[in-house]
Amino acid sequence: MSYLQTPAETNAADQTGRLYDADRAALGYVANYTRVFALQPAVYAAWQQLNTAIKADMDMRRYELVTLAAARRLRSSYCALAHGKALRDRFYDAETVEVIATDHHDAGLDSADVAVIDFAERVVTDATAITADDVAELRHHGLSDTEIFQVVLTAAARCFFSTVLDAVGTEPDAQYRASIEPGLQLALTFGRPIATADTPDETP
């Protein structure tokens, strides 16, 4: 599941118990990333608050495209699988998401979407290389300065979340094997492989 010893599900209490209960209610299981962040519930709460604020006034399709782009550059299988699945569930079919994950320039996206994804990848790869012309390009495609800032915030925030998970060896949940088509799984698995089985309860 990860390299860390995380709080057990059995008899989990207080903040950890609430985190686990929320996952079971929403997902039907406790996600591996939640187990890791259960070591510092206050940090996870701060992340949720930040991410909620970033998404609050943002187009959700753009948010998912930017997050997938950032995950690809970060080689984060976990985040790519989660947000690739969200794109498939809400906006595209599996085949289209597979192409977006592989080469977004060949996925039939409009020029604004392609420019946004290219920009998000630059944010993750080398933010110091971004120029005024890069920002002007997004304005040319109709984005306001607030929308451009939302793209930056989304990509930068993903750097935090993905890096934390991969630095401690967090495997994507085994449930993705059943919930995502094999071809799409392969296209979204940029780094760590999906867990091979449900994570057993751990002892503290």
**pTM of the predicted model, to two decimals?**
0.93
- Give pLDDT tens digits for 35-71: 999 999 999 999 999 999 999 999 999 999 999 999 9
Q: Can you tell me the mean pLDDT for 84-91?
A: 98
The mean-pLDDT minimum among 10-14, 173-177, 196-200 falls in 196-200
Per the prediction, the chain carries an average pLDDT of 94
- Give pLDDT tens digits for 1-19: 899 999 887 766 688 889 9
Where would I find the H helices in 38-193?
Answer: 41-55, 60-74, 77-90, 94-103, 111-126, 132-140, 145-167, 176-179, 182-188
The pLDDT score that the predictor gives to residue 198 is 55
The pLDDT score that the predictor gives to residue 9 is 79
The pLDDT score that the predictor gives to residue 204 is 34
- Give pLDDT tens digits for 115-137: 999 999 999 999 999 999 999 99
- Give pLDDT tens digits for 178-193: 999 999 999 999 999 9
Full DSSP string of 60-92: HHHHHHHHHHHHHHHT-HHHHHHHHHHHHHHTS
Residue 153 CA to residue 51 CA, distance in Å, equals 9
Length of the chain: 204
Residue type, position 23, single letter: D
**Which DSSP category does 13 fall into?**
-
